[in-house]
Chains A and B, each alone.
Chain A
Amino acid sequence: MIAELVSGIVYSSIILLTPLLLAGIAELLVEKSGLLNLSIEATMLMGAFTAFMVAYYTQDLLLATITAGVAGIIMCLLFALLTVFLSLDQMVIGLAMNILTIGMTSYLYRASFGWYVSPVPPHIKETIRPIEIPVLSDIPLIGEIVFHQIPHTYLAFLLVPLVWWFLFKTRLGLKTRAIGEDPQVADYLGINVNLIRFYILIFEGFIVGVAGSTLSIAYYNMFLDNMTQGRGYIAIALVILARWNPLLLLPASFLFSFIDAAQLRIQASGVIPFPYQFSLMLPYLLTIIVLIIAGRKVKGPAALAKPFKKVR
């Protein structure tokens, strides 16, 4: 009974973890290069919206996922233009883009389906289904939980070691870390700071866009206003929690989503005597507490969020 309950929570926490881990691993890479991209919240929301629209009109879920990635790239290109090439303040631009996108997606949604949303909102018939990995999914318990997920989850798990390998084992990764620590020095040594940041942002755009698509075409079958609900910000907090270490991002995001899954269970069971809003805030409260304990002495990339301008 208990084992079943726990494995159930673990299973759903891996589902909840997927968009966070995808966004987190991409954001981690971006932050390592010295940019703080708050607008991943907007990028994710745009991904969710685009994926739903494409899936609704074409019923092609693969196409929807890829278009979500492309929409994400466009969002990050905007961010790159403003912060990398025009050296504007990253926080201000990030926040502005988030607010802009909430309005824009809600508006475009209504522009397509009419101002009056009927009691049954537009939805898609098919969502992305879990894929079983042969052999591995036969492992008792673990196979059921880990290897019976949607492809996005596998992508997220795969990206963790990949990003680690890129950052710490390749030349380009070394350069990426260098521009995150001191872009002036990197520039002095002939490294093209803006170009590397530009490429990394394109990567982030695609991954975060895809992360958004999990919400509207995998876990739900519809789009809701502001349906990311701060997951982009959570991903940023998780990067800090993981101390900018890709390998720590996995346990960090698991911790968060486990609590989230548990609170959903508690909510659904209806056994608790206090309002359900209390359990809603639990994961966020926990994040703050963990940050207080673990995040105080942690130093991020030295040049994080500082605008870089070439002086000659």
Chain B
Amino acid sequence: MPLIRLENIVKIYPGGTVAVDNACFEVEKGEVHALLGENGAGKTTLMKILSGCLKPTSGSIYVDGRRVEFRSPAHAMKYGIGMLHQHFTLIPSMSVLENVMLGLTDQDVKKEKLLKDIERISKFLRLNVDLRSPVHVLSVGEKQKVEIMRMMLLKARILIFDEPTSSICGPDAENFLDMLKKLASEGYGIVLITHKIREALKVCDRVTVMRKGKTISTLKRDEIKDERVLLEMMLGEHFLPEVLKQPREEYETPLLIVKDLVVKNDQGVVKVNRVSFEVRKGEIFGLIGVEGNGQKELIESITGLRKQLSGQIIFNNSKYSSSPSYIPEERMEVGVAPSLSVMKNAVLRDFEREEFSGRYGILKFSKIGEITNKIIHFMDVRTPNMNLPVKYLSGGNIQKLIVGRELMRGSELLIAEQPTAGLDVRSAYHVRKNLLKLASMGVGILLVSSDIDEVLEVCDRVAVMRDGRIVRIFNASEADPKRIGMYMLAAEVGLSSQ
């Protein structure tokens, strides 16, 4: 008997959107079950129903063969079902111990036993942090582990992970996937929500593919011979991305020059240490590194969000008036004004231009509507209308709106941070294709990414950042994933001799 069984789950949101349409799903003890699908396929909604965050419109949930109805996430937790959401459910200012204790009921807490349990679990998860340090100083990976630890202390039997590797990269993601396997071998039932086929195949015992709210099929790992089968199931059609890049070796004048840049973070720690590079006209310059190695501070300094301590940033624009385009990583904080409409956000960067606000500062909504329509069609932004506040769009659609806005501004330099994060296969492909198209038109692009594959696919040169320094700049021809990964981690001894 499966531990968990979902039967004919339907979820219709108050607006009438059918998010989940007759979905069926099950989890066995000790398996890693991947839930695969594009953005908006209903994966997260289905799992939120399983974890008690949402009420299904109809359908039934069985735990150990018995039918249950969950009133709240805490109620689902009593049945041993815990979900790790894309955003953390930790309180940043509180210590690790306090965060872990928060969810426990009073009878669970015997301090000595709790500490012993924490020690055992820490060892198992390879989590090595001071229990008294506040959570906000922890890395993303450590925060994830603290969340897992909390679930384990709450005696979860099913752990649901929602796109867990979207915020960690490269080698860390590998380690994370190994940990999922280890958890499964301990008897936990693991659900991995993902849109990355490779990731699913790497760890799963079974895969369930979702599309447009329906569960299309559930396959055992050894039944899957070709990942293209899964891709077709996800997309519902034959889709084969072609190889995009034509290698170029000649470049023109630099558009952005960074010289000996030193930047400190909010805590006063030097995060960027004498970094120098240039982005030339018509090239895509990749910047890759494990999160927290100074990329964030570097970009903040280039975009003017953070003051540099010393060094120079030179923009070599011929069109002096146009500021560089910028696709920020923190889309809700920096990319959009969440409560403004789609239309207003579409011209958020440029509404002061005369074409949008005339000579007297009165907004020309017909013109703004035109450009908004262009962006919506170009990027396939799914929105019921242009006047909807942006915060009601899904994360993927907000990302598409920002990318579309920045790509279509027509500036000579584009700074793109994780432009495809949270986008599905087709949209990500579309974004990459357009980055290349812009480059061929002479735009210089600084691409910050933690996805090695993406960087290799589009970049002309790749800089690896570690501990605040650029440790190596590869030309596209000499870069391969393994070597880049090694530089990111500084794992190999032989590196320094090169």
B96-110: CB near A (< 8 Å → 1, else 0) gives 001001110110010
Q: Check B102 against A178 for contact (C-beta < 8 Å).
A: yes
Residue A306, interface by CB 8 Å: no
Interface bracket on A: 10 to 19
Q: Which of B85-93, B178-186, B296-304, B446-454 contacts A (4 or more CB under 8 A)?
A: B85-93
Residue B279, interface by CB 8 Å: no
Residue B389, interface by CB 8 Å: no
- A181: which B residues are within 8 A, CB to CB? 91-94
Q: Check A191 against B102 for contact (C-beta < 8 Å).
A: yes
In angstroms, Cα B53 to Cα A187, docked, is 11
- B102: which A residues are within 8 A, CB to CB? 174-175, 178, 186, 189, 191
A152-190: CB near B (< 8 Å → 1, else 0) gives 000000000000000000010011011001100111111
B90 — nearest CB in chain A belongs to which residue? A185
Residue B77, interface by CB 8 Å: yes
- Tell me the smallest distance from the CB of A240 to a CB of chain B, in Å: 16
- A302: which B residues are within 8 A, CB to CB? 92-93
B101-135: CB near A (< 8 Å → 1, else 0) gives 11101100100000000000000000000000000
Q: Which of A177, A190, A299, A312 contacts B103 (CB 8 A)?
A: A190
Compute the total of residue contacts between A and B using a CB distance below 8 Å. Answer: 47
Q: Check B89 against A174 for contact (C-beta < 8 Å).
A: no
In angstroms, Cα B106 to Cα A71, docked, is 34
- Tell me the smallest distance from the CB of B83 to a CB of chain A, in Å: 9
Q: Check B91 against A185 for contact (C-beta < 8 Å).
A: yes
A188-223: CB near B (< 8 Å → 1, else 0) gives 111100000000000000000000000000000000
- B109: which A residues are within 8 A, CB to CB? 171
Residue B55, interface by CB 8 Å: yes
Residue B72, interface by CB 8 Å: yes
- B92: which A residues are within 8 A, CB to CB? 181, 302
Query: Given contacts A175-B102, A312-B55, are A188 and B91 in contact (CB under 8 A)?
Result: no
Query: Given contacts A186-B102, A190-B73, are A312 and B91 in contact (CB under 8 A)?
Result: no
- B98: which A residues are within 8 A, CB to CB? 174, 177-178
- Tell me the smallest distance from the CB of B308 to a CB of chain A, in Å: 22
- A182: which B residues are within 8 A, CB to CB? 91
Query: Given contacts A171-B106, A178-B102, are A312 and B54 in contact (CB under 8 A)?
Result: yes
A89-100: CB near B (< 8 Å → 1, else 0) gives 000000000000
Residue B74, interface by CB 8 Å: yes
- Tell me the smallest distance from the CB of A165 to a CB of chain B, in Å: 16
Name the residue among A182, A186, A189, A191 with the largest chain B CB count within 10 angstroms: A189
Q: Check B74 against A189 for contact (C-beta < 8 Å).
A: yes
In angstroms, Cα B72 to Cα A300, docked, is 29
- Tell me the smallest distance from the CB of A195 to a CB of chain B, in Å: 14
- B94: which A residues are within 8 A, CB to CB? 177-178, 181
- Tell me the smallest distance from the CB of A21 to a CB of chain B, in Å: 26
- B91: which A residues are within 8 A, CB to CB? 178, 181-182, 185
- A312: which B residues are within 8 A, CB to CB? 53-55, 72
A177 — nearest CB in chain B belongs to which residue? B94
- A190: which B residues are within 8 A, CB to CB? 72-75, 77, 103, 105
In angstroms, Cα B104 to Cα A191, docked, is 10
- Tell me the smallest distance from the CB of A174 to a CB of chain B, in Å: 6
B76 — nearest CB in chain A belongs to which residue? A190
In angstroms, Cα B102 to Cα A177, docked, is 10
- B72: which A residues are within 8 A, CB to CB? 187, 190, 312
- Tell me the smallest distance from the CB of B91 to a CB of chain A, in Å: 5
- Tell me the smallest distance from the CB of B257 to a CB of chain A, in Å: 35
Q: Check A174 against B55 for contact (C-beta < 8 Å).
A: no
- Tell me the smallest distance from the CB of B67 to a CB of chain A, in Å: 20
In angstroms, Cα B101 to Cα A186, docked, is 12
B77 — nearest CB in chain A belongs to which residue? A190
- B101: which A residues are within 8 A, CB to CB? 171, 174
B68-84: CB near A (< 8 Å → 1, else 0) gives 00001111010000000
- Tell me the smallest distance from the CB of A245 to a CB of chain B, in Å: 13
In angstroms, Cα B442 to Cα A206, docked, is 71
Q: Check A188 against B89 for contact (C-beta < 8 Å).
A: yes
In angstroms, Cα B99 to Cα A191, docked, is 13
In angstroms, Cα B106 to Cα A171, docked, is 8
In angstroms, Cα B53 to Cα A206, docked, is 37
B99 — nearest CB in chain A belongs to which residue? A178
In angstroms, Cα B77 to Cα A195, docked, is 21
Q: Which of B132-189 contact A (CB under 8 A)?
A: none
- Tell me the smallest distance from the CB of A312 to a CB of chain B, in Å: 6
- Tell me the smallest distance from the CB of B132 to a CB of chain A, in Å: 12
- Tell me the smallest distance from the CB of B149 to a CB of chain A, in Å: 14
Name the residue among A177, A185, A188, A312 with the largest chain B CB count within 10 angstroms: A188
B109 — nearest CB in chain A belongs to which residue? A171
B150 — nearest CB in chain A belongs to which residue? A189
- A177: which B residues are within 8 A, CB to CB? 94, 98
In angstroms, Cα B109 to Cα A239, docked, is 32
Across the A-B interface, give the 10 residue pairs with the lowest CB-CB distance, nearest first: A190-B74, A189-B103, A181-B91, A185-B89, A188-B73, A182-B91, A189-B102, A188-B89, A178-B102, A178-B91
8 residue pairs bridging A and B, Cβ less than 8 Å apart: A171-B106, A178-B98, A187-B72, A188-B53, A189-B89, A190-B73, A302-B93, A312-B72
11 more CB-based (< 8 A) A-B contacts, given A174-B101, A175-B102, A188-B74: A171-B106, A174-B102, A178-B91, A178-B98, A178-B102, A181-B92, A182-B91, A185-B89, A190-B73, A190-B77, A312-B72
